[in-house]
Amino acid sequence: MTTHTAAVTIDETNFATEVLEKSHEVPVLADFWADWCSPCQMLLPILSDLAEEYQGQFILAKINADEQADLAHEYGVRSLPTLKLFRHGEVVEEIVGAQPEAVFRQLIDKHMSRTSDSLRPQALALSDGGEHGAAIELLENALNAEPDHAPLKADLLRVFISAGEYERAETLLHSLPANLEVDDEFKALKSQLEYAQQLNNAPDEDKLQANIAANPDDLESLYQLGLRQMQAGAHQTAMDNFLTLMRKDRQFGDDAGRKGMLAVFELLEPGDPLLGRYRSKLSSLLY
């Protein structure tokens, strides 16, 4: 890895090279601060110690917001301290206000380059091809080397669920630290596991379609069909079926149709146009 200075003072003349360009190699934590800002002064030794400890695995970029007002304005800094984490030329995380060291450590670790970065897509590709055992072995070996790396745990959970290894998935979920238990990604994976377990002995999609064609009021088959489609990534079709279930019977399965809709929402990317469209449909049905 390229050797970097642990911390660097940033102005308009070196922002592009020391923040944007360097962020393609390592995370760059831009600290917008000012002399008069007491919380900024409290953070200074915490951030400086982290920069020294990580020895160039991330860069601490110090930006005096008073002296570099144009940079502060360009990046929407409205209060101090504001910290923005740059990766691959873009802001990927933001923290406003003083926070404990653990918060910054978790933020940096999340975006650091790691040996396992090249293994994760390889493992998921193996799993997608049905080679779940090989994928699990690859991820578990990587996790033994990096036991605190959350993305590896998330990938292993995904593969466990795809492989039908539900007990192992539950064991991994129960071992998560408190901060990951409330993380949106892991909460979504927990929901996926719960729905996958409900489908453990359910008919396949063709059989469910046949059941509904024979009896449109077969709500159990309609619900299971939505779950099958959600599991297969057919998100729009799944949501259409969950909405149909809601129209037929809001009480079925303790409002299972609405819960299914919310589960699909968790799987969609924030900018997915389906989110806005189907949130509107759900709202119209509810209210």
Task: With H, G, I as helix, E, B as strand and everything else as coil, classify residue 91.
Answer: strand
* Residue that terminates a domain, selected from 198, 227, 259: 198
What is the pLDDT at residue 1? 39
The catalytic residue among 20, 34, 37, 96 is 37
The catalytic residue among 19, 29, 40, 208 is 40
Q: Give yes or no: 188 in active site.
A: no
What is the pLDDT at residue 249? 97
CA distances from 241 to 94, 170, 246, 253, 256 (A): 38, 28, 9, 14, 11
28 part of a folded domain: yes
Q: Give yes or no: 37 in active site.
A: yes
Q: Are 69 and 56 in contact (CB under 8 A)?
A: no
pLDDT tens-digit map of 11-31: 999 999 999 999 999 999 999
79 part of a folded domain: yes
Residues β-bridged to residue 82: 32, 96
| 164 and 101 fall within a common domain | no
The predicted model gives 90-94 an average pLDDT of 94
Region of residue 56 (left: phi > 0; alpha: psi -120 to 50; beta: else): left
| 220 and 262 fall within a common domain | yes
* Residue that terminates a domain, selected from 156, 176, 198: 198
1 part of a folded domain: no
What is the pLDDT at residue 110? 85
2 part of a folded domain: no
Residues above pLDDT 90, as percent of the chain: 83
* Residue that terminates a domain, selected from 80, 111, 142: 111
